[in-house]
Amino acid sequence: MAIQHAQFGAYVASLGDEILSQMNRVRHLIGNRHWQSDGHHKEYLLNHVLRRHIPAGCEVSRGFVVDPRAAAACSREQDLLVVDTSREAPLFNQGGLCIALPQSVLACVSVKTSLEKRSVDDAVEGLDSVKTLMSEANIDPSDVWCGAYFCELAESVRKRPEKVLEYVQEAIEQRRPHVLPDADALPGLDMLCDASEVAVRVRRGTSAQEAPRVLGYSCDGLATSVLVSSLISHVSACRSGQPAHFSDLMRRPEIKRIGPEEGIELTWD
């Protein structure tokens, strides 16, 4: 019997509830101390959920992307790296650290504590190091999905959530984007969210003449699920040519637009 749309949406939403409940459990025990351990725990929780839902033949790990044809071609360390091991085995995969070739990388995620301008800038810079390496290796940067996950909102963003769109716009525009002539290519970031309330998506243009746009969403507790579903959908599309049904989560009525309805256009010289 087919799973009804409402039941399926509730299941996907529960993935975010699972991560949030375990994050809060750790915070209740250690409070505001030992934030490095707390951060690693959040990476582990996201890793655990992704491992249960990505197709077989994919590895999820902390790691780097390198191009052996160029001595200096190494990305910044990625908190979560999704690698298609059916294409090519990583150069190194041991002790929770993976070093992969660009043609086998499907996605990467930067995990931060607080969603504020400085942390958005740092996340986009780190993720863009992968997009840059892909471009320099003559691989379409849009082949890798890049997301940023923040455990909580800064107070300024909590009061005015649409500020996140400005942060993303500025973080992308201040870096020289490695965008191919292809309309499918994207700069630095595909999606950003905090653990609960806000998600931002960078949408590619529908033609070579249309610039990418930054779109904001109020998620009513579903932000983690939105990011996870978007990543899984990209991985499934890369592996099978068909998007996963996880992408249906964006159609839930609880998820509403914030900021300009048409989004903010990204421009650069």
Read off the pLDDT of residues 209-248 as tens digits, 9 standing for 90 and up. Answer: 677 889 999 998 889 888 988 898 899 888 877 766 656 6
pLDDT score at 85: 93
Split at pLDDT 50, 70, 90, the class of 181 is very low
Helix (H) or strand (E) holding 203: strand 198-203
3-state secondary structure of 173: helix
**Distance between CA atoms of residues 203 and 264, nearest Å:** 10
**Distance between CA atoms of residues 243 and 235, nearest Å:** 8
**Distance between CA atoms of residues 158 and 66, nearest Å:** 37
What is the pTM for the complete model shown?
0.86
Torsion-angle region of 45 (φ positive above 0: left; ψ -120 to 50: alpha; else: beta): alpha
**Distance between CA atoms of residues 249 and 245, nearest Å:** 8
| CB neighbour list of residue 210: distance below 8 Å, 6 or more residues apart | 183
| 62 or 244, greater pLDDT | 62
Question: What are 115's two structure tokens?
Answer: 């969603």
Q: Is 111 exposed, middle or buried (0-12, 13-18, 19+ CB in 10 A)?
A: buried
